[in-house]
Amino acid sequence: MNNYITLLIGCCFTLVLAGCNDKPNPIPPAKDTVCGTIRGLTCPTGQYCDFGAGQCKVADAQGTCKTKPTVCTKEFMPVCGCDGKTYGNTCTATAAGVSIDHTGVCEPPKPRACGGIAGVKCPNDEICIDDPGDSCDPTKGGADCPGTCTSK
């Protein structure tokens, strides 16, 4: 029994001398992983590239890798993703791996101009149609009448 008490007192004495460290060693913040840029850097699995609002269309925009959320609410606060799609909220967009372009719904893309004096072509799945509502009419002498690309 005396050995037990001696051992117990020894342990307590050691703890008292060691004291408590009231300031734990802080964990250094994780270094942000850069993504995007002109080099097209990608993020590790489970993360997405957050470019920041309004940076989606900047060709060499630099973003930061952020963890994709795994659970989202169904709260409807629409945002427009960098992929041009409208998402129900920020969480659902980032869970899909998409950075946010702006709050609110995405505007439909504007039709591409084509034709004209430069002869601008449409992508393979579209054709160039002259806009009969504009003031430029090639049948009435209009020389540089641009058209609009539409699906075939």
Q: CATH number of the domain at 45, please.
A: 3.30.60.30
Residue 86 is predicted with a pLDDT of 97
For residue 28, being part of any structural domain is answered with: no
Mean pLDDT, rounded, for 38-49: 93
pTM of the model: 0.57
Token pair recorded at residue 50: 């957050």
Closest alpha carbon to 61 in 85, 86, 79, 34: 34
For residue 80, being part of any structural domain is answered with: yes
For residue 4, being part of any structural domain is answered with: no
Is the per-residue pLDDT at 3 higher than 70? no
Q: Which domain holds residue 129?
A: 113-137+145-151
Coil/strand/helix, residue 10: helix
Distance CA 135, CA 20 (A): 83
- Report the domain count for the chain: 2
Closest alpha carbon to 63 in 71, 53, 51, 79: 51
For residue 13, being part of any structural domain is answered with: no
Closest alpha carbon to 130 in 148, 150, 152, 151: 148
Same domain (yes/no): 71, 120: no
- DSSP-derived secondary structure letter, 75: -
Same domain (yes/no): 55, 96: yes
Is the per-residue pLDDT at 136 higher than 90? no
Signed CA dihedral, 130, 134, 139, 144: sign only: negative
Q: Worst-scoring range by mean pLDDT, 46-50, 86-90, 143-147?
A: 143-147
Distance CA 52, CA 50 (A): 6
Same domain (yes/no): 99, 121: no
Closest alpha carbon to 35 in 44, 26, 27: 44
For residue 131, being part of any structural domain is answered with: yes
Residue 32 is predicted with a pLDDT of 75
Closest alpha carbon to 145 in 132, 136, 113: 136
Is the per-residue pLDDT at 15 higher than 90? no
